[in-house]
């Protein structure tokens, strides 16, 4: 049986608990969702501690031409992601990191696993308002959070925080990347960050731990920049 090597405690403190990984996510990104389920799988097997942080696809791409550079549904999806990040920020303010983790899980279960993202992509003219409302209401309720958090989706007071965290993530990796961004050992002398990994399926069991060890090792190599091959399969959220 492969050895689980993630017992080394590293990095900053989150409510008195050592943080091993900063995970920057946008709720609407399917690749971030798969990667998040992988690191969650690792955390369930080890004492690995994850801090859930924000990065906005809308901000990353604000200088690009949505009319020519992206599919027609991207503005709708990226706008939805920004609104959901506001709610995640409000959840953090009221309930800390665990509230963000719970809300992100429930949002992802509906957006990705539940097929909402595919529905939006298939019909760019879809009236998103009722779907957005039910998505937010159901996710907040399933997370056990205050229903009043839904109002934060329109609250611009959280925008500066989202932009600051997005800029923090991009400062760590460079700007020619997407989501997610992972920072290992944040706040320590051994801090290292990478975009990705982009994976089409969620590693489970020992394989999940092995991949985490490998990615963390690559991130620690001075000068390491990129390792890539084309996708072999469509994203699977199972």
The domain total for the chain is 1
What is the rounded distance in angstroms from the CA atom of residue 154 to the CA atom of residue 22?
26
DSSP characters over 195-224: E----SS---HHHHHHHHHHHHHHHTSTT-
- Please check the confidence at residue 139 and state whether its pLDDT lies above 90: yes
Q: Is residue 137 part of a domain?
A: yes
Strand partners, 181: 24, 195
What is the rounded distance in angstroms from the CA atom of residue 26 to the CA atom of residue 53?
9
DSSP assigned state of 176 = S
Q: Is residue 31 part of a domain?
A: yes
Across 13-22, 35-44, 99-108, 218-227, least confident range: 13-22
pLDDT value of residue 200: 94
Q: State the residue range of the domain holding 111.
A: 13-219
Q: Is residue 207 part of a domain?
A: yes
Per-residue pLDDT reduced to its tens digit, 49-98:
999 999 999 999 998 887 788 778 888 899 999 999 999 999 999 999 99
Q: Is residue 228 part of a domain?
A: no
Determine what percent of the chain is predicted with pLDDT higher than 70: 93
pLDDT value of residue 68: 82
CA distances for 214 relative to 53, 76, 86, 208, angstroms: 22, 36, 33, 10
Q: Is residue 173 part of a domain?
A: yes
- Helices and strands in the chain: count of H runs, count of E runs: 8, 6
Q: What is the CATH number of the domain that holds 127?
A: 3.40.30.10
Q: Is residue 106 part of a domain?
A: yes
pLDDT value of residue 17: 54
Q: Is residue 93 part of a domain?
A: yes
């Amino acid at each position: 049986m492969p050895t689980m090597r993630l017992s080394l405690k590293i990095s900053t403190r989150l409510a008195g608990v050592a943080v091993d990984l900063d995970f920057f996510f946008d709720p609407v990104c399917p690749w971030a969702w798969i990667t998040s389920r992988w690191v969650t799988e690792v955390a369930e097997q080890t004492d690995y501690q994850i801090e859930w942080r924000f990065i906005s696809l809308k901000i990353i791409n604000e200088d690009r031409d949505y009319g020519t550079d992206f599919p027609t549904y991207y503005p709708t999806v990226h706008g939805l992601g920004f609104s959901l990040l506001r709610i995640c920020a409000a959840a953090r303010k009221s309930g800390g990191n665990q509230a963000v983790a719970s809300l992100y899980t429930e949002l992802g279960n509906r957006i990705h696993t539940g097929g909402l993202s595919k529905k939006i992509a298939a019909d760019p003219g879809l009236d998103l308002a009722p779907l957005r409302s039910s998505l937010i209401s159901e996710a907040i309720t399933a997370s056990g959070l205050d229903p009043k958090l839904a109002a934060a989706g329109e609250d611009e007071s959280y925008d500066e925080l989202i932009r600051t965290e997005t800029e923090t993530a991009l400062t760590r990796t460079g700007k020619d990347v997407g989501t997610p961004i992972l920072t290992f050992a944040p706040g320590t002398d051994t801090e290292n960050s990478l975009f990705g990994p982009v994976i089409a399926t969620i590693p489970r069991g020992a394989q999940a731990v092995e991949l985490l060890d490998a990615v963390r090792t690559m991130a620690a190599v001075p000068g390491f920049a990129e390792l890539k091959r084309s996708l072999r399969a469509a994203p699977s959220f199972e």
